[in-house]
Structure 1
Amino acid sequence: MGFDVRRFDIYRKIPKDLTQPTLTGAIVSIASCSFIVFLLLVELSSFLAAETKNEMFVDEAKPDDKLEVRVNVSLIRLSCDFLGLDIQDDLGRHEVGFSGNTKKIPINDGAGCRFEGVFLVNKVPGNFHMSTHSARIQPMSLDFGHEIHEIRFGENVTNVEGLGAFAALSDIDMTDKSADSSFDYYIKLVPTIYQDLDGSQRHTYQYTYANKHYSQHGHGHRVLPAVWFRYDISPITVKYTVIRRPFYHFITTICAIVGGAFTVAGIIDSMIFTASEVFRKAELGKLS
């Protein structure tokens, strides 16, 4: 007699005439199959959706690192003829009337000015401010009431706004404040790296801010008001990485769902069947 490979079958089959279908078994089977389908759909949805993990580490900044700043601010009662941008930092940079890659757009029939610009600053604490310091002639009255449309640091990440405050200074209205007031915004920057599924990275900055406005008076001389943006940089970098679970993890979970659901359903069906048999015997008085 030849070797019969069927002896390795661990899934031995039971003839149908040796099995007994029951109503409760059918109900449990339908319920378990429905539950399995529901869990499979949930797991498939979870598998297809990308996840975002985050980590933190100390930023290894280099001396020549630069920080990109995007500014979009409207000063509704100050003419573009007087408005300028000044930049200072702790490395000794001090530029008055910076104009590289910036533009001034007259608004309110020339009575106001919209300032837009993208410029680089050293990656150290510092400030940039909008003032009339670079104007040859100062206006008779100064009103720095303004609207901040957007202040951003680093690369634009508008499609992941839910992860952090990348543009906390947006839609800020300070137009109703008194004339001759200065405005200070104190900004705390957190370096942030966003890595997409394809491995590409964008370097940006989340930030929080506090602000105040005040009238400043010197000793016997006029102190010109301005809109100051003072920033400091955290040494801790936050990295967000978009990932998708590996396929083998999905298959493992599917096997666990199917096997576990069938096992639990079988136990429930067996308990119900055993209980019904005991109850039936008790009615017939055959319990010993």
Structure 2
Amino acid sequence: MGGGAGIGGGGGGGFSLSSLDAYKKIEDHLMVRTTSGAIVSLLGIALMCILGASEILNYITPPVVKQMAVDGTQNELMTVRMDITFPRVPCSVLSVDAYDQSGKNDQDVRGELHKERLNKDGKSLGSYDKAGGGVTDEEDALIQDLQQFFGGGMKVVFQKRAEHSREVKHAVEKKEGCRLYGRMHVQRVGGNFHISAHAEEYETLQHAFGAVNKINISHTITHLSFGAGYPGLVNPLDGVARSGSDDEFHYDESSKDSRSSDRKNIEKEKEEEEKRKKKEQVRRSRLMDLTWDENGSGVYKYFLKLVPTFYRTHRSVFLGLFSWTKSVSTNQYSVTEYFRKTDAWSGSLPAVYFLYDFSPIAVTIDTKRPHFVYFLTRLCAVCGGVFAFAHMISNLVDALLTIITKKKR
């Protein structure tokens, strides 16, 4: 009975729980509050908030570590995602052909690629589900069977129907465009894919456009990527619009010099770098170039250097007791552009080529967020350290003020 009263902290000579209190309380009438102490306290609270916010920010945005090594990936397929708009090429003549260094040659690629008809103002007219050249589903299935039988190296062209020629002519007169979007899977080796009217008969194109060099292949690349995305990934061709105007490209009639070197020479001669940048910003902000002329007629080539990239992020739950790693295998790329204007006598069809090759060096990007326990420990250390430092400064200021006061007396 008496022992219980001792433990409760009441009286007697027994053990008292209050004797373990590390934070001894001082009576209010014994405390002295000063202006200097208040100032130091406010500064300490401000410093504590700043350092605490910095720790929280570091925890939310983990550091990024990049490493480079020889790429050892083998026998993988690569997913190419695209969203490209051709404001002056009808869907009925547009097709995608893909070729790689392994010898695989896919003509008029379809599958997960889709076409959307556009009117002259860029508004949707619905999907277009036929293959390039107006081939029906039955004819397309026969083409696939014959290509497999002949090893994929034979291009089968059906005699187009008269109604298809009228369809193309009508679409050209209505100034229809086409949006090509979706994805396709290619071998992870160097190669290219190009978008053009190669699946269409030459006579049909001549009848619809008057001349093949009048096919306006102007385009806007809304999106082009080679693999999955990750935070911070930049695709250089996203938002690029090309119309083949003189202030955008240098026409190399000899087809020998690259567009990148010619463009540098022009910039040095004209000394209009700032003016060019402003024009580029205007062009990129424009999603549709609706000029109806042959300025956009030519062969556009984008030379892409793909860099294999592995993005890894580490996650954890329940105070770091359970953790896992999420990995993404993708590709970054750099690009160099080239444009060659087509002439009526050349016979070549306007097209957009994407020629890609792989770098032998792969980049690994690691983002590892610290465990929550580690973050909590650092946060407590910051708060405690600032509190102790502020208390020390307060005592120092009080001592100095006391010395100064005594000297004045």
Question: Alpha-carbon deviation of 1:176?
Answer: 5.4
TM-score normalized with structure 2 length: 0.57
Q: Which of 120, 126, 134 is the equivalent residue of 2:191?
A: 126
- In 2 relative to 1, CA 269–19 (structure 1 residues): closer, same or farther, beyond 3 Å? farther
Alignment partners' CA distance in 2, 1:15 and 1:71: 72
Q: 2:221 aligns with which of 124, 141, 148?
A: 148
Equivalent pairs, count: 275
Map residues 215-254 of structure 1 onto 2, 5 A cutoff: 215=341, 222-254=347-379
1:171 pairs with one of 234, 239, 252 = 239
Cα pair distance change 1:221/1:194, threshold 3 Å = same
CA contact (8 A) 1:28 1:265 kept: no
* TM-score normalised per structure 1: 0.77
Q: Is the 8 A contact 2:79 2:184 kept in 1?
A: yes
- The verdict on how the C-alpha distance between 1:255 and 1:19 changes in structure 2, with shifts beyond 3 A counting, is farther
Q: Alignment partner of 1:253: what SS?
A: helix
**Partner in structure 2 of residue 181 of structure 1:** 298
- How far the C-alpha of 1:181 sits from its partner, in A, is 0.9
Structure 1 residue 251: deviation in Å? 3.2
Question: Which of 52, 72, 75 lines up with 1:60 in the alignment?
Answer: 72
Structure 1 residue 98 corresponds to structure 2 residue 167: no
CA distance in 2, matches of 1:214, 1:56: 39
Quote the Cα distance in structure 2 between the aligned partners of 1:237 and 1:115: 30
CA distance in 2, matches of 1:180, 1:190: 31
Aligned to 2:328: 202
Q: How does 1:13-32 map to 2 (within 5 A)?
A: 21-24=32-35, 26-28=37-39, 30-31=41-42
Equivalent AA in structure 2 for residue 155 of structure 1: A
Identity %: 24
1:217 to partner: Cα distance? 6.7
What is the CA distance between 1:120 and its match in structure 2?
1.2
Q: Deviations 1:111-133 (Å, cap 9, x if unpaired)? A: 33332342111112211101233
Structure with more strand by fraction: 1
Q: CA deviation at 1:33?
A: 5.5
- How big is each residue's C-alpha offset from its partner over 1:75-101, in whole Å with a ceiling of 9 and x where there is no partner? 233333332212122222233333333
Deviation per CA, 1:51-85, whole angstroms, max 9, x where unpaired? Answer: 252332432211x2111112222223333333221
Q: Deviations over 1:2-43 (max 9, x none)?
A: 99999x979595976996624146415632562365247515
Q: d(CA) in 2 for partners of 1:21 and 1:102? A: 78
- State whether residues 36 and 258 of structure 1, in contact with CA within 8 Å, keep that contact through their aligned partners in structure 2: no
**Backbone CA RMSD of aligned residues:** 3.6
CA pair 18-120 structure 1, distance change in 2 beyond 3 A:
same
Residue 170 of structure 1 aligns to a residue whose secondary structure is: coil
Structure ranking higher in helix proportion: 2
8 Å contact kept, 1:182–1:225: yes
> Could you tell me whether the CA contact under 8 Å between 1:56 and 1:236 is conserved in 2?
no
The alignment partner of 2:80 has SS state of strand
